[in-house]
Structure 1
Amino acid sequence: MTKRIGLGHAPEIYKAMANVQAEVDKAAANAGVDQKLMELVKMRASQLNGCAFCLDMHSRETLELGESPRRLFVLDGWRETTLFTEQEQAALALTEAMTRLAATQSVPDDVYDEAVRVFTEDQYRAVAWQVIAINSWNRVAVTSHSPLPKRDA
């Protein structure tokens, strides 16, 4: 793999991205969005974007929050299971629609309608901003060929 210029080495821009992420996390907490749901959003977008760095980081963080390994293992096929709550399903569908905008050019009305049915306005905003944030982080890591950190297993 070709070594790339690391986009994280632009401290002012990286700090601004980190500040956006911190605001998203704060908005989610203030709106009462479960932290594990927000991590599932990060995981699903990172799967779609093929971001190994983010998948590695967020799978570890999600497990540390007490998420079931089984749910992470089947996340890519979430529609075929009954393992995810109504809110999680709506968040995952929204994540997929927003992440695939280049192909779909829209968030379908049924996806939006379900999301606003199960989330308050503030919760919806927090989830949507999480999708925006993780897609941005994925683009930083994938474009930079960010290596996985060294650690045991």
Structure 2
Amino acid sequence: MARMNLQKSAPEIYQAWIDAELAIRRGPLDATVRELVKLRVSQINGCLFCIDMHATEARKEGETERRVWHLNAWRESALFTEAERAALEYAEAATTLGPHGVSDEIWAAVEKHFDEGQRAGLVAVTAQINLWNRIGVPMRLEPPEH
């Protein structure tokens, strides 16, 4: 059971997060890349609510079951494009933020595959899903029954 309903407890703040989410969705980043990043970051952070939501959203955007299954081991899978790999590498580095943050090599791959607006979208979606995960995990959000 969830510890708190932030939508009810802090409606203005929650609405600001929703507005940011909607702006990201309207942005130039490809919907498939957006949902793959959300799903992969949620896997890293262990947010069951977001894993469930974004696996469902990815499939609605046309993602295949097989690619969803492979996502946790995307480096070993031949099913992802170079652009998707660059986005996933960036998302993982920005999520885990080791002692050196996001390396120049990782960022160069992002620059190679995405224009400036798409890069901004990638940065934004990665930050935003980390925010949602940091709400979902401590609040113990559970996915709805499908």
Which TM-score band applies after superposition, normalised by the shorter structure?
over 0.9
Q: Which residue matches 1:15?
A: 15
Gaps of 5+ in 1: none
Match of 1:40 in 2: 36
2:81 to 81, 85, 88: 85
* Corresponding residue for residue 70 of structure 2: 74
Q: 1:90-119 deviations in whole A, cap 9, x for unaligned?
A: 000000000001x33410111001101111
How big is the alpha-carbon RMSD for the aligned residues of Structure 1 and Structure 2? 1.3
Q: Do the aligned partners of 2:90 and 2:110 also contact (CA within 8 Å) in 1? A: yes
How many positions carry a matched residue from both structures? 145
Q: Is 1:128 matched up with 2:123?
A: yes
Instruction: Judge conservation of contact 2:2–2:142 (CA < 8 Å) in 1.
Output: no
Structure 2, unaligned stretches of length 5 or more? Answer: none
After TM superposition, what 4+ stretches of structure 1 lie above 2 angstroms from structure 2? 5-9
Structure 1 equivalent of residue 55 of structure 2: 59
Alignment partners' CA distance in 2, 1:94 and 1:3: 31
- The DSSP-based 3-state class of the residue aligned with 2:27 is helix
Matched residues in 2 for 1:116 and 1:104: separation?
22
Alpha-carbon offset, residue 48 of structure 1: 0.5
Q: Quick check: 1:49 aligned with 2:75?
A: no
The verdict on how the C-alpha distance between 1:138 and 1:86 changes in structure 2, with shifts beyond 3 A counting, is same
Contact preservation (8 Å) 1:42, 1:130: yes
TM-score by length of 1: 0.89
Percent of residue pairs bearing the same amino acid type: 39
Q: Aligned equivalents of 1:89 and 1:105: distance in 2?
A: 20
TM-score normalized by structure 2? Answer: 0.93
